[in-house]
């Protein structure tokens, strides 16, 4: 179980001469706000502009949003964020422009009485490697412009299919026209698209009416805090958030690393990257692992770390 603490960069409000706020926040996003709204709240609460998030949640969606603060933003792509788990409710018989309840209906059809049987017949198509067309109402970019910007102008543009991976899909039909869904999937999966495509496959259309992300890799929504409860004490240190081999360096080795020089060291377990720590276990950077050296990739400035 991950726990919040202060090693690997103690969280304190930024002030002249003080260490910067640094760490990972697990936020339980409510419905009705965007992921960017959450970032704005975190910036205000912690008094820092350096905030980013991994894995956008739609406004109607709730649940786990992983947020990085301070120099931890540079580690977002190295966090263990897969697979992702979602729970939700789908409504059959209506397809919408956005693939969720916020869109306008594009087709309305009777829900077949044998809906459960039809889902059972087509379900295997939606497990394993699945090709998805990103929805027009999404942040995927086309020619440098997000698709939702085209959609809001009433335009539909050509976009490329993407392959995603669905580890598991459970569908429990709730008569007469709804179903409870549980999905375990790779990053980049659009559950809205999954539900829309499932609706097309059973012949009546479908859209998402509720969606909640419960897990992203080793992070669980049960550990998350409300956007209204953000504080330095809620930060998870990088030393606990990263699931990488740890390389503890002596002071002379640290000086080499911080100056951008390779550090002679062979890790006991092979890995393309390692979290570089001082002798107290505080994460001070990230290294590419050579055969017998650590090559600096990310170096956290010394004055950004807790003293």
Active centre residues (catalytic):
58
pTM summary value: 0.89
Which of 175, 201, 216 marks a domain boundary? Answer: 216
What is the predicted pLDDT for the residue at 46?
97
Q: What residues of the chain score a pLDDT lower than 50?
A: 1-17, 307
Q: What is the domain count for the chain?
A: 3
Q: Flag whether 75 is in a domain.
A: yes
Do 74 and 148 sit in the same domain of this protein? no
What is the predicted pLDDT for the residue at 19?
61
Report d(CA 132, CA 123) in Å as an integer: 15
Which CATH number belongs to the domain containing residue 64 in this structure? 3.30.2350.10
Which domain does 154 fall in, by range?
A: 84-216
Do 114 and 207 sit in the same domain of this protein? yes
What is the predicted pLDDT for the residue at 145?
86
Do 210 and 95 sit in the same domain of this protein? yes
Tens digit of pLDDT for each residue in 231-287?
Answer: 999 999 999 999 999 999 999 999 999 999 999 999 888 899 999 999 999 999 999
What is the predicted pLDDT for the residue at 11?
42
């Amino acid at each position: 179980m991950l726990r919040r603490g202060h090693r690997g960069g103690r969280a304190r409000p930024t002030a002249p001469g003080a260490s910067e706020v640094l760490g990972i926040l697990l936020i339980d996003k409510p419905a009705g706000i965007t992921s960017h709204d959450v970032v704005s709240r975190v910036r205000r609460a912690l008094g820092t502009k350096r905030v980013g998030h991994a894995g956008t949640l739609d406004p109607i969606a709730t649940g786990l949003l992983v947020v990085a603060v301070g120099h931890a933003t540079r580690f977002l792509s190295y966090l263990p964020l897969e697979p992702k788990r979602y729970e939700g409710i789908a409504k059959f018989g209506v397809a919408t422009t956005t693939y969720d309840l916020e869109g306008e209906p594009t087709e309305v059809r009777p829900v077949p009485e044998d809906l459960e049987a039809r889902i059972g017949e087509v379900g295997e198509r939606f497990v394993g490697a699945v090709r998805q067309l990103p929805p027009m109402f999404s942040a995927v970019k086309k020619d440098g412009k997000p698709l939702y910007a085209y959609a809001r102008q009433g335009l539909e543009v050509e976009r490329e299919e993407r392959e995603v991976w669905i580890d598991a899909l459970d569908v429990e039909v709730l008569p007469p026209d709804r179903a409870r869904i549980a999905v375990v999937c790779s990053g980049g999966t659009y559950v809205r698209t999954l539900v829309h495509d499932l609706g097309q496959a059973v012949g009546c259309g479908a859209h998402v009416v509720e969606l909640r992300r419960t897990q992203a890799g080793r992070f669980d929504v049960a550990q998350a805090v409300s956007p209204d409860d953000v504080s330095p004490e809620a930060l998870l240190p990088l030393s606990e958030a990263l699931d990488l081999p740890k390389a503890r360096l002596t002071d002379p080795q640290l000086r080499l690393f911080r100056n951008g020089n390779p550090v002679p060291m062979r890790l006991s377990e092979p890995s393309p990257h390692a979290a570089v720590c001082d002798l107290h276990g505080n994460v001070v950077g990230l290294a590419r692992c050579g055969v017998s050296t650590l090559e600096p990739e990310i170096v956290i400035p010394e004055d950004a770390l807790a003293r």
